[in-house]
Chains A and B, each alone.
Chain A
Amino acid sequence: MRAHPVPASDQAISVEGISKRFGALVAVDNVSFRVPAGEIFGLLGPNGAGKSTLIRMLTTLVPPTSGTAVVAGYDIVHDPNSVRTRIGVIPQNMTSDPELTCAENLGIHARLYGMTGERRRQRTEELLEAVNLSDRANALAATLSGGMRRRLEIARGLVHDPQILFLDEPTTGLDPVSRISVWEMISHLRAQQGRTLFLTTHYMDEADRLCDRVAIVDKGRIVALDTPVALKASVPGASRIELQFDRDLPGGAAELERLPAAKSVRALGSATYRISSDRGPASAQELVELARSRNLELKSLSVQSTSLDDVFLHYTGHALAEMPENEASANRRRKGGH
């Protein structure tokens, strides 16, 4: 198929009204956004929110039902092969072959991009060095730990030096040490090479730590998109206070809402409440006084700054972990298990 480049712009990815339906289920619903070149862009949402379907459309694995996107200057529907030559993809599943060695996996992937001979061998060595797997070059991929295997996947995605790297849930299933190692590698990729990175995650801390901008996805739609700082600032109350009395407050949540520093209050059950406040320490003082005046004992009290968890809750009405399981699993089934 002949490539038809879209007029050059500073946008690495430009998505226009893209949707994907699986029968009656709308996995991605009329989504539009742009990602400038050189940015680390994150899609944040629970399992089944439509993140993987969206990334699969952008990486030409799944055709959209409607709408389209321009990735690295080429339309994903009309010029999928031109897109493929310019992007690297690290899918959620481990796609390296467990029965091949690390070097063989990279060498064969390089051949899939048309590299042969000395260039292929040299690139394989460079990448093994870059992901700290040189000493495991001849080890079967099946023998690697989860973190090493993920690093091998990242090396595979970089074999042809792509303009844009897509990472679908890059740290899912990894232990904390391996997660940090992968995070460092992702940060390094952008810092060293100015590459655009597009990642999906359902970890708030991951999105907060890595991404320049984050799109919050819920039920196939983008409900908020901005920098992590701006998103947190958009939530009323700069602090989050969680407290537990020894028994229920007589006036319930309404009584807490009357406190001057409280912006919003949510009862979590078992005499536990979550309060959003602009003045965390002052609110804590007010709460101590309230407990004393009502003869209640404060069993616990914590004051935290607003996180992306609060942002997610604010924009979707439910916590990230509260995605109805039947809905999430139905989405996963329709999308092939992710």
Chain B
Amino acid sequence: MKRALALVERDMRKFRRSPALLFASLVMPLVQLVILGNAFGGNIKNVWLGVVNLDHGPKSVDVLERVRAVGANARTFLPTDYDDEGAAVRDLRKGVLSGVLIIPRHYSRDLLEQHQPHLALITDNTDRSVAGAVGEQMSTLVASINAPQVTPREASQAALDVVEVYPYVDYIKYLLPGSVALAIFMTAMIGGGLLFIDDKARGLHEGYMVTPITKWELIVGFNLSGVIKAALAGETVLVLGAVVARVPNFFQPMRVLELTFMVILTSIALIGLMFFIMARISDPLVPRAIFGVLNTLLFFPSGAIYPIAGFPKWLRVMSQCDPFTYAVHAFRTLLLKDVGITAVTTDIVALLLTSAVVLAGATSLFRRTL
């Protein structure tokens, strides 16, 4: 074990001397957290909606007033009047407008005669998010038009009250667990995989193999130094991210301890995975070629940026085999729900199992000779 510590000492000295590695490992997760967290988190506002009034009756004025009220207050869309239906649709196709509302001829008369007139909303469905937001806002607006003017003496409709059990979670908080796992993974890729192969290609490993260090000590040394670096990166992003995302009550000692435990466990699993993948690779180009693919395969199916419930079945199966999934779930549970370590027992077991499997595989693949 003394000899394994020589490898740890070597890596720590290099790590301290080269802050570029820590910087490179932290920058991407933090930039992603800040940019994606703010880009995806907000409500859609200020999209242009063309309004074509072919009716000009009193009920169409009511619609126009409600549309303008949205434009002045919620500002989901900003209405602009068109006389010609064709011109409005042409502007929609050109991208000037994100939707066109058409109030048909005889709308007021049909409404008064209870003939159920139809308002038409044409949306640019190449952008599903904007189209969905405009559609949702218009549905609310139409529901308000249809609401009875006089409250019925006896309520006949059931109502649903939604109660949120946790304080409001904006998208940046939702993204933070994935950013922590990503920081650990980036360090595992750069500080674990890339440097390991580069050192091997530069002949540094040959220098260790002529000494009495055993295969076990080599494996322990390489992995332990990788885990220390990855855990430092994960812990740094965890603290900085929690401050940036304003996670409530983050600095409770017990909570920090539990999160640190998960950071270390995730580091062991991901460094072990990297060591397993790199055990037989010698060409320094290989890790550079596969890291992009690995990142996509592990990060995106993990539910870090979008809920797993929205995935097709094959992708859900993939996410169940992905150690990232359990890390992200554990961090999210501990960060956003603050329910204690027992709530993430499944994640702990999954990460321990992953660590055991990949380290056993790496041990059998790793060769003590050239």
Contact = CB atoms under 8 A, between A and B. Distances in A.
A75 B202 CA distance: 29
B64 to A, nearest CB: 70
A95 B203 contact: yes
Contact of B14 (A87, A100, A112, A113): A100
Contacts of A111: 2-3, 5-6, 9
Interface stretch (A26-34, A57-65, A184-192, A262-270): A57-65
A242 interface: no
A310 to B, nearest CB: 35
Contacts of A60: 209-210, 369
Given A60-B369, A100-B13, A114-B3, A95 B207 contact: yes
Contacts of A85: 212
A63 B369 contact: yes
Contacts of A56: 370
B17 interface: yes
A87 B3 contact: no
* Best-surrounded residue of A89, A99, A113, A336 (most CB of chain B within 10 A): A99
B204 A112 contact: no
A108 interface: yes
A84 B207 contact: no
B10 A61 contact: no
Nearest to B207: A95
A217 to B, nearest CB: 19
B208 interface: yes
Interface of B is mostly: helix
A156 interface: yes
A108 B9 contact: yes
A156 B206 contact: no
Interface in B142-181: none
B46 interface: no
Contacts of B9: 108, 111
Contacts of A97: 10, 14, 199, 204
A172 interface: no
A234 interface: no
Interface in A55-85: 56, 59-63, 81, 84-85
B212 A113 contact: yes
Given A84-B212, A114-B3, A116-B2, A109 B207 contact: yes
Nearest to B203: A93
Nearest to A57: B369
A206 interface: no
Nearest to B17: A99
Given A108-B10, A112-B213, A95 B206 contact: yes
Interface in B239-258: none
B369 A112 contact: no
B212 A81 contact: yes
A59 B5 CA distance: 23
A198 to B, nearest CB: 13
Which of under 10, 10 to 19, 20 to 34, or 35 or more describes the interface residues of A?
20 to 34
Nearest to B210: A89
B370 A336 contact: yes
B211 interface: yes
A85 B9 CA distance: 21
Contacts of B208: 112
A330 interface: no
B2 A114 contact: yes
A112 B7 CA distance: 8
B204 A95 contact: yes
Given A99-B18, A108-B6, A62 B369 contact: yes
Contacts of B204: 95, 97
B5 A62 contact: no
Contact of B211 (A62, A99, A112): A112
A91 B3 contact: no
Contacts of B18: 99
Interface string B202-230: 11101111111110000000000000000
Contacts of A100: 10, 13-14
B130 to A, nearest CB: 51
Contacts of B14: 97, 99-100
A169 interface: no
A87 to B, nearest CB: 7
B370 A59 contact: no
Given A61-B209, A114-B3, A91 B10 contact: no
Interface string A323-334: 000000000000
Contacts of A84: 210-212
Contacts of B212: 81, 84-85, 112-114
Nearest to A59: B210
B262 to A, nearest CB: 31
A61 B18 CA distance: 30
B369 to A, nearest CB: 6
A243 to B, nearest CB: 46
Contacts of A89: 210
Interface string B189-209: 000000000010011101111
A114 B370 CA distance: 23
Interface string A10-36: 000000000000000000000000000
Nearest to B214: A81
Contacts of B369: 60-63
A80 B214 CA distance: 10
A233 interface: no
Nearest to B18: A99
Contact of A87 (B199, B209, B210): B210
A201 interface: no
B206 A61 contact: yes
Interface in B1-25: 2-3, 5-6, 9-10, 13-14, 17-18
Contacts of B209: 60-61
A228 to B, nearest CB: 28
A63 B18 CA distance: 36
A91 B203 contact: yes
Closest 8 CB pairs of A and B: A95-B207, A93-B203, A111-B6, A89-B210, A112-B211, A84-B212, A85-B212, A112-B6
30 contacts: A59-B210, A60-B210, A60-B369, A61-B210, A61-B369, A62-B369, A62-B370, A63-B369, A81-B212, A81-B214, A84-B210, A89-B210, A91-B203, A91-B206, A91-B210, A95-B203, A95-B207, A96-B207, A97-B199, A97-B204, A99-B18, A100-B10, A100-B14, A104-B13, A109-B6, A111-B6, A112-B208, A112-B212, A113-B212, A336-B370
